[in-house]
């Protein structure tokens, strides 16, 4: 190669996107794999505790608040697995 025209590989590649959730090693189901997955899991737990506290354990109010909260992580997992 000509010294004036050399091209160097600087290794500036985009990192491959890792799924937020993946299959568990032991048992059934999926678990968090990245910090984003852990964040979604933590927000879900905090939201469920908040809804249970605000509704004081009354079943219809809890279901109205908790069912969408459970559906959101499943939607995120479905989107991430594409």
- For the segment 26-37, what is each residue's pLDDT rounded down to a tens digit? 888 778 888 988
Mean pLDDT within 33-57: 83
Phi, psi of 22 (to 5 degrees): -150, 170
Report the C-alpha gap between 35 and 16 in whole angstroms: 15
Is 59 part of any domain? yes
The tally of domains found in the chain comes to 1
Q: How far is CA 81 from the centre of its chain?
A: 11
User: Which residue range forms the structural domain that includes residue 69?
Assistant: 20-80
Please tell me which of 4-8, 9-13, 30-34, 60-64 the model is most confident about, judged by mean pLDDT: 30-34
Residue indicated by tokens 């600087």 = 10
Predicted pLDDT of residue 15: 75
Mean pLDDT within 1-15: 63
* The length of the chain, given as a count of residues: 82
């Amino acid at each position: 190669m000509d010294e004036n025209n050399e091209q160097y590989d600087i290794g500036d590649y985009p990192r491959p996107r890792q799924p937020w959730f993946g299959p568990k090693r032991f048992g059934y189901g999926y678990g968090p794999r990245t910090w984003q997955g852990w964040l979604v899991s933590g927000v879900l737990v905090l939201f469920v505790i908040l809804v249970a506290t605000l509704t004081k354990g009354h079943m219809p109010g809890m279901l109205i608040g908790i069912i969408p909260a459970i559906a959101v992580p499943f939607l995120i997992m479905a989107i991430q697995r594409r």
